């Protein structure tokens, strides 16, 4: 075999490898974009739930906690394109091991158990914990308990993912100065890739964020989809379809930069 034959074979091999690498990079980028969009949907759903709590905060959140959870799932399902009453919507509940509705120093944990419907079939039943004091350490132990409890429910539904509480910086669970709040874990959601990876995140929305610390990210971004900025309430670039965040750090976590028009 002549030298130029080896050169030709090497060139073909290099083209194949580059094509495979490009495909892998594009696949990774698509997955990252999907994760970013899921993060935004999750925060929007939590904020919608917190808005329900805010409307009734004067009389306490106990009476509207079920409505806030229903609002959360309705918003999340709509964002994911799931129709009401479908099996996919039931499965969506199984990817949320714990929801916490907090009211000052008190919190209530929402979780699911399997029960029997009127026709004798097995169905998910929503349960609430007794009031729990919102204390450092105690909160995390409580979440850990209900995550472990949810593992049994998920396993019965055919989900093999092991749910657990995530590590957070600065005690994200303890933002008691924000009055009433809505916290949700979202874990085990299948990736579109075939490697078995899952999407895992959490979201918190409070009702007592000071207006000076309110920042908004447009759902559609500005210009290209990769360009995101966070804006203050009166910014002329802010659209009606946006999500509120309580800190610049949270905005930055979504890859958003400070708006040059309304920023400090």
Tell me the C-alpha distance between 171 and 151, whole Å.
24
Do 159 and 48 share a structural domain? yes
Do 85 and 192 share a structural domain? yes
Tell me the C-alpha distance between 38 and 90, whole Å.
18
Do 238 and 146 share a structural domain? no
Do 235 and 126 share a structural domain? no
Better pLDDT: 13 or 260: 260
Do 233 and 161 share a structural domain? no
Q: How many domains does the chain fold into?
A: 2
Do 44 and 154 share a structural domain? yes
Do 227 and 130 share a structural domain? no
SS3 state of residue 79: helix
Residue whose structure tokens are 């900025």: 229
Do 250 and 163 share a structural domain? no
- 176, pLDDT greater than 50: no
Range of the domain at 119: 3-207
Sequence-ordered strand ranges (E) for 157-206: 180-190, 198-206
Do 224 and 183 share a structural domain? no
Do 193 and 223 share a structural domain? no
Eight-class DSSP state of 235:
-
What is the predicted pLDDT for the residue at 206?
A: 78
Do 217 and 138 share a structural domain? no
pLDDT tens digits, residue range 96-139?
999 998 877 778 899 998 887 777 777 888 999 888 877 666 77
pLDDT tens digits, residue range 177-198?
456 789 899 988 877 655 667 8
Tell me the C-alpha distance between 73 and 185, whole Å.
12
Do 191 and 63 share a structural domain? yes
pTM summary value: 0.67
pLDDT tens digits, residue range 39-68?
888 988 998 898 888 776 555 677 888 999
pLDDT tens digits, residue range 132-146?
877 666 777 888 899
> By mean pLDDT, which of 58-72, 206-220, 247-261 is the weakest?
206-220
Q: Is the backbone of residue 22 left (phi > 0), alpha (psi -120 to 50) or beta?
A: alpha
């Amino acid at each position: 075999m002549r030298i130029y034959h080896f050169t030709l074979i090497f060139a073909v091999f290099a083209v194949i490898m580059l094509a495979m690498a490009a495909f892998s990079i594009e696949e990774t980028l698509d997955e990252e974009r999907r994760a970013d969009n899921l993060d935004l949907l999750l925060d929007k759903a939590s904020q919608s739930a917190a808005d329900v709590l805010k409307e009734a905060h004067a009389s306490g959140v106990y009476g509207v906690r079920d409505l806030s959870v229903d609002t959360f799932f309705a918003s999340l399902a709509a964002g994911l394109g799931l129709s009401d009453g479908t099996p996919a919507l039931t499965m969506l509940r199984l990817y949320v091991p714990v929801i916490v509705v907090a009211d000052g120093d008190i919190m209530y944990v929402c979780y699911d158990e399997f029960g029997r419907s009127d026709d004798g079939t097995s169905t998910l039943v929503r349960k609430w914990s007794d009031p729990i004091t919102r204390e450092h350490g105690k909160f995390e132990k409580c979440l850990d308990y209900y995550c472990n409890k949810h593992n049994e429910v998920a396993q019965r539904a055919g989900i093999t993912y092991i749910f657990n509480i995530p590590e957070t910086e600065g005690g994200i669970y303890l933002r008691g100065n924000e009055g009433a709040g809505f916290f949700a874990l979202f874990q085990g959601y299948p990736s579109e890739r075939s490697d078995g990876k899952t999407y895992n995140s959490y979201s918190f929305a409070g009702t007592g964020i000071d207006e000076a610390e309110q920042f908004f990210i447009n759902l559609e971004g500005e210009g290209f989809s990769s360009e995101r900025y966070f804006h203050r309430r009166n910014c002329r670039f802010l659209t009606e379809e946006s999500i509120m965040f309580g800190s610049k750090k949270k905005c930055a976590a979504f890859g958003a930069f400070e708006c040059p028009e309304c920023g400090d």
